[in-house]
Amino acid sequence: MAPLSRKHITKKPTTQVATVRMISSECAVPGRAQRDLREPQGLNQIRAYAIKLRTPAGRAGRTCLGLRARTRGQVIAALKAGLPVGAFNRLQDALAIRAHELAGIVQIPVRTLARRQKGKLLDVDESERILRIGSLFDRAVTVLGHEEQARQWLKAPQLALGGRTPLEYADTEPGAREVEDLLGRLEYGVFT
């Protein structure tokens, strides 16, 4: 079976169904993508493969928080040192919500946040909660394809979450894992 190339997956504007054309095995799909992409068997698999190939331009390897950490150990070290307050500001911009709304989601009192602006660093617990929401946003962008779609999805009530928005639901670690699971089901076309 021949691997797929990004330019060979198109969307019909009226039905939003991915159309896949197979190409020769010499296509230039880099690294892991070339190994992972094989001929899909059904419509849900076609959608999942289309999503894998649709990574937003300029976002490869970047996070909405601006972290440069590549390994889990580097992320842990960054959290222990405390994320800069700028990570909160970048997440606020990425989600396009007000500071007090994001402060409520990540459970940082507004007055504490004002004090942190002077010190320039968040503490470990605050950093973890910021990273949790930032990781969910990045995952939603990967699954849904675009930042605007990710924003809308995170702010919209979801039936699978009991009518709550994913941002509201992700205010605890188990809630964030449930939102991640929901994104995984969406990625693979499982009805939720």
DSSP output for 133-188: HHHHHHHHHHHHSSHHHHHHHHHS--GGGTT--HHHHTTSHHHHHHHHHHHHHHHT
Distance CA 131, CA 109 (A): 17
Mean of the per-residue pLDDT values of the chain: 74
Predicted pLDDT of residue 116: 87
Phi, psi of 19 (to 5 degrees): -110, 130
Q: Contact 90/66 with Cβ under 8 angstroms?
A: yes
Residue holding tokens 């990574």?
A: 55
Higher per-residue confidence, 164 vs 37: 164
- Whether the pLDDT of residue 173 is over 90: the answer is yes
- Whether the pLDDT of residue 21 is over 60: the answer is no
Give per-residue pLDDT as tens, 121-151. Answer: 999 999 999 999 999 999 999 999 999 999 9
Q: How far are the Cα atoms of 57, 60, 145, 190 from residue 19, in angstroms, in the given order?
A: 21, 24, 16, 19
Residue 98 in tokens: 């007000």
